[in-house]
A and B are shown apart, each in its own frame.
Chain A
């Protein structure tokens, strides 16, 4: 009777946005009379940080501090159409729509500033701190607040912009499956290390090491939260969760979190993550999106680690202690593989 250690790996990619495209999102950006901007979306922030990444994208594009931008979401009377928060599409689709809207608003802002400074708009730059000045001549400057006041009360301009992002819908060939499913893909590789108890079949996570390629980490803290949480969800899927433990028999349906088993704080293990950024040609600042994919490599990596530890292949999810133990017994005991 022993706890046997094993390591397993998995490598994956993941498509960004709805399969085949055809999933538009819109954004509206406008300034109030004192140069503070509102982004109006109907998109939903599920907790993943949609408001934060679109806020940073808008601020970067306008050339103003992030504090000068507020993102308003989830009202069908004020926010223009968005397909929804799913399919890892928030950062890519909504981010691009916000970027387009911010570009249009910025162009008006620069025209208004040019009129006040009596120069060409093309000669102006933003300093990212709330000022617009002549390129190479920082003293010939005007604040975005003064530009907004002038635009509203003197020039009669709206500093506002509209944006939409749409990947045109692809056809699918019925005979070959030829299609254009996605414009960019995120990537990952994960190494899982586990202990398997050959007496009980229980699997304990020891650690995870991973590398995720996401185009651009628009906000590294939000990326970290996604990757850490996503890996936990993948682990839960790999080892614990199902409402039908003897699928396809529809029996033992759980009714609450006592009967539906998930890992608790004691089941979490250290997770060392590296993030790679290979910008997508059509991503906002190259961003793809870490949303869904970060859970996926954990499942096979854990299965492969279990094989490495005890020589048992469990090809049916979830990998419960019962399945591991039956596998060990069927082969007459644990058969540890080459240590890696």
Chain B
């Protein structure tokens, strides 16, 4: 049941509209409910071949020998594709926006870095013949030490998962093994706090579990072009990735998407298109490459695990004075998109609350598991779980109602966020109030009267000076830390961060300097090509 609360924020809206705001039936509804909407796999092309890949049986191993001689002689086999057949057999997805280094082959060559990594592809007349040929391929592995825990992977002497990042961590700004967030001085707040709560949270990986598994069909068109029917969530992203790996101009490819049977972030990786197109180029025939359910479950990239540490300082009347976080993303064996989620996570901290002192380090770490990728709420879902469990614990610690606790600490219009941008258009308080109303949860009159549009800004809009602590630099990068003299000043005592009555929310410490945020660096994109 859905209720539109038109009474709230009515003065900010013009509701005099003809089509917007109406529950119009969707354009594609009839096709969906009559099972006539076309999916990529509905294209049954004449002479279509089927591609399947041989996947690594080991989590981490050197490839000593790959013998395909028997597989090549199997009935129905049209072509065996090896790493050396792939024109540019190394890529990273975000190279399209100049972020990160190429670190992942389409087909493994010298070693495998996770169980299930593709090594050889077989193109055959039928799926069955492709599977039978795969069974005849002989691979000689030399198993290598493995690492599965992110904090183990970050230790000196841990097995190197991905040689592109020999410390098992992605590189930010060419010098750091993590993304930083610094606002105010958390250590001073911990000294002054009535309560300090230090907790650890863990999210396991999860599957996108789409009804339709990842897949595509590539076929030769006229004039040396290839048409590709695909389940992708990002048509040009997949097209440009394929063009790069196959080393062909992008206008040789004609991508057609359409109805997608569930994406949730799991159909951005372009898992099947490059090999399907290559198979088509090598055979001159249409080639279909679609993951089976077991492949999708086990080797289609999942949402990666995340480990989160939160340490909070709180006054006895329930104001959060400081939040220190350490978040570690398990990227699996390759980068894919986890490097991006780390920066998004840093931007999201410390959650939708005005906290005058914030300190966070966020890491992208490599382990010997299936590469992680984007999923609904990417970079945010796990930290929201951690932050909101932590909020519940903090409220419990001082025996305060958890709804009132959130309203007390909620960000409001005009407040300064930890990434040094002013909050505007906020509505957390109103959501809490309306949810309480729905759930018949009693709020105090003070909490009911609170508003996102009142009592924000002012000294809550200031940027506190940050204490500059010495930071370790990733040893493989010998560049000095960029100078940031504005962060080395001692902070002024901040009486404003002392407890205040609830009707006026917690102010941020007064600014001790106006030189904040002046140091700008060229880009997040660590390594431009």
Contact = CB atoms under 8 A, between A and B. Distances in A.
- Real complex partners, A and B? yes
Interface of B: 1-6, 8-9, 12-13, 17-28, 32, 59, 97, 115, 148-150, 172-173, 175-176, 179-183, 199-207, 209, 232-237, 239, 253-265, 268, 293-294, 297-298, 302, 305, 330, 340, 343-344, 346-348, 351-352, 360, 367, 369, 374, 376-382, 384-389, 391-393, 396, 402-403, 406, 410-411, 418-421, 424-428, 430-439, 441, 466, 481-482, 484, 487, 517, 519-524
Q: Most chain-A Cβ atoms within 10 A of its Cβ — which of B2, B183, B360?
A: B2
A191 B441 contact: yes
Contact of A307 (B233, B392, B436): B392
A51 B435 CA distance: 31
A127 to B, nearest CB: 9
Given A11-B410, A44-B235, A60 B388 contact: no
A173 B23 contact: no
Interface string A151-194: 00000000000000000011111111111111011011111010
A315 interface: yes
Contacts of A316: 201-204
A250 B433 CA distance: 43
A12 B384 contact: yes
Interface stretch (A109-117, A196-204, A205-213): A205-213
Contacts of B298: 243, 253-255
Contacts of B379: 19
Contacts of B262: 46-47
Contacts of A65: 19
Interface of A: 7-15, 19-20, 22, 42-47, 49, 51-52, 55-57, 59-60, 63, 65-66, 70-71, 73-77, 79, 81-87, 128, 169-182, 184-185, 187-191, 193, 209-213, 216-224, 227, 230, 233, 237, 241-245, 247-250, 253-257, 259-260, 262, 270-281, 285-286, 291-293, 295-297, 299-301, 303-304, 307, 313, 315-318, 337, 340
Contacts of B6: 277
A191 B13 contact: no
A317 B20 contact: no
A257 B210 CA distance: 11
Contacts of A51: 26-28
A142 to B, nearest CB: 19
Contact of B347 (A15, A187, A230, A255): A15
B479 to A, nearest CB: 11
B172 A76 contact: no
B512 to A, nearest CB: 15
Given A286-B13, A295-B376, 16 more contacts: A11-B391, A13-B352, A45-B260, A85-B263, A175-B182, A176-B182, A181-B421, A187-B428, A191-B441, A218-B20, A218-B21, A220-B2, A274-B434, A299-B388, A300-B389, A317-B385
Contact of B206 (A9, A46, A224, A237): A237
Given A7-B439, A276-B5, A12 B352 contact: yes
Contact of B9 (A172, A217, A272, A278): A278
Contact of A172 (B239, B260, B524): B524
B181 A182 contact: no
A86 B439 contact: no
Contacts of B381: 237, 295-296, 299
A189 B351 CA distance: 13
A42 B253 CA distance: 14
Contacts of A184: 425
A218 B22 CA distance: 7
Contacts of A291: 376
B389 A315 contact: yes
Nearest to A14: B380
Contact of A189 (B259, B435, B481): B435
